[in-house]
Structure 1
Amino acid sequence: MPARPGRKAASNGSQTTLCDGQVVWRFLSDDTRSLFRDHQLRISRNISEPHWKEYVAFETEGLNSADEVTMEHFEAFRHRVPNQKIELQDDMSIFYSLDAPGARKSLVSKQWAFANSIMGPSYNYEKPLITFDNDQAISDEILEEIRVVTEAVTKEVQWQDGDVVMIDNTRVMHGRREITDTNRELFIGLGYL
């Protein structure tokens, strides 16, 4: 089927990386699996005022830009997500903290999957501090085990015009290789089960 006009893949670079968390889970050691079954992750970082306002505007129905965000919008957003804490700082930045599973059963397959962003880069925000929910650091040995396993099972999507990929975020970790061709058109849709 020919690609529809306006849906153009990059001629080079920009490959989407896919890492099946169920496969990762099978290759992790018993001790590492136990840690991730027994503890959630705590992800925390500072976010500048322009960045959090942009995000609140995107997530709030009826808002078209960050300039429209009021403190009422901020307070509504602050209380919307369970297990998140947001503290407004004197400079109007926020300190954000979220407890979330590092491993979970996929909503689709119902199997355990290692699915989180521990190894992901942070391009638009300060790199987060990621610990277990009891504030225990994730050891260098565990991070190295995760790095080796995830690198071994990561695949790349070599985009062609008109391609579509659907990803189960509760199972598959994903990212993007360096964007070297900015003359591309990418459309992203999100859905919830």
Structure 2
Amino acid sequence: MKTASSLTTSAKVIINKESKSILELPIQEQLNLFKRFGVLLFRDFGVDYDKMKEFAEQFSSKFVLDKDRPIVDSRNKFVTLVDPGMHYVSPHCENANSPFRPDVIWFCCGVPAAQSGETLFWDGVRVWEQLGEELRELFITRKIKFLQKFPPADWKRFLGVGSTIADVKRMLNDISGLSYKINQDQSVSIEYVCSAVVKTKYGHQNAFANSLIAEYKNPRGNVTFEDGSSIASTVINQINQVMNSCTEVISWQPGDLVMIDNSRFLHGRRSFSDRNRRIYSLLSYLK
């Protein structure tokens, strides 16, 4: 095994030079690298989505299912394809618009796009440092609020097919920063207030690691300051300028596996036109 720094990304690249199975790698050693770097790229291990799940199980206490992503097969119900469509995906942390943010995002590459389609990521610590004093003061002093509405099909996918409104209430009751309403059609409207600045899981550093940009651009989403006032487009533009200067790239090869710290790094993707692209994803909490 060999570790290396990629020319295009600050991710730690772990290259298989000894024809090993990824399952032979020392778990604690990989976890230590993950804590240090936050993004690990495992290359030449020939990982498919079954092997991704098996490898992730060594680190994970629990898997969660994204409500919008298609499940690959019934044997691995937590393994999904990445976001549907071929469009550009804005910087975001997974489920950061809710209190159910997982610790790790796992991606593996079945088939890379013939052109473009790279996964992008941003170091939230670096973004925070480069935002400038005025913006940092703004987001230290003012929280943001995400508003979402989940039809029954969505919350049943998250909680399980046989779940009920009583299960929804048990899950949502007494969560700090969250209020909710059960609608007549059994959809659930949620308001979630949080800081755009989070403390990283490892190192306890300030990170601008959130879903603000993605939800601001999402026609289905709604994000405001805590008091309901709009976030000015000039603020969003300034954040985007910093994001653009901090963009890093994962150029996929078949069999690649990537492990991303969801408390520190935002991720997204470049648009593409190749319908054969297959990138699989998995969300988990660490042990």
Both proteins in one fold, TM over 0.5: yes
Match of 1:129 among 214, 217, 222: 222
TM-score, length basis structure 2: 0.56
Query: Closer, same or farther in 2 for the Cα pair 1:158/1:30, shift >3 Å?
Result: same
Q: How does 1:1-193 map to 2 (within 5 A)?
A: 1=16, 2-4=44-46, 6-7=48-49, 8-12=110-114, 13-57=116-160, 66=161, 68-79=162-173, 81-120=175-214, 127-178=220-271, 180-182=274-276, 184=278, 186-192=280-286
- Measured after TM superposition, the shift of residue 155 of structure 1 is 1.5
Distance (Å, rounded) in 1 between the aligned partners of 2:283 and 2:149: 27
Distance (Å, rounded) in 2 between the aligned partners of 1:185 and 1:146: 28
Deviation beyond 4 Å, 4+ runs, structure 1 = none
- Measured after TM superposition, the shift of residue 148 of structure 1 is 1.3
- Measured after TM superposition, the shift of residue 187 of structure 1 is 4.1
Distance (Å, rounded) in 1 between the aligned partners of 2:47 and 2:261: 27
Do 2:48 and 2:255's aligned partners in 1 also have CA atoms closer than 8 Å? Answer: no
Where relative contact order (Cα < 8 A, 6+ residues apart) is larger, the structure is: 1
Letter in 2 for 1:96: I
- Measured after TM superposition, the shift of residue 135 of structure 1 is 2.2
Distance (Å, rounded) in 2 between the aligned partners of 1:148 and 1:128: 22
Do 2:123 and 2:265's aligned partners in 1 also have CA atoms closer than 8 Å? Answer: yes
**SS of corresponding position for 1:161:** coil
Distance (Å, rounded) in 2 between the aligned partners of 1:43 and 1:103: 14
Distance (Å, rounded) in 1 between the aligned partners of 2:270 and 2:216: 13
Query: Closer, same or farther in 2 for the Cα pair 1:150/1:183, shift >3 Å?
Result: closer
Do 1:45 and 1:126's aligned partners in 2 also have CA atoms closer than 8 Å? Answer: no
- Measured after TM superposition, the shift of residue 189 of structure 1 is 4.0
C-alpha root-mean-square deviation of aligned residues, in Å?
2.6
**SS of corresponding position for 2:211:** coil
Do 1:6 and 1:185's aligned partners in 2 also have CA atoms closer than 8 Å? Answer: no
Distance (Å, rounded) in 2 between the aligned partners of 1:122 and 1:147: 12
Task: List alignment gaps of at least 5 residues for structure 2.
Answer: 1-15, 17-43, 50-109
Task: List alignment gaps of at least 5 residues for structure 1.
Answer: 58-65
Q: Which moved more, 1:125-134 or 1:23-32?
A: 125-134
TM-score, length basis structure 1: 0.81
Do 1:15 and 1:177's aligned partners in 2 also have CA atoms closer than 8 Å? Answer: yes
Letter in 2 for 1:10: P
**Structure with the larger strand share:** 2
Give % identity.
23
Query: Closer, same or farther in 2 for the Cα pair 1:20/1:184, shift >3 Å?
Result: same
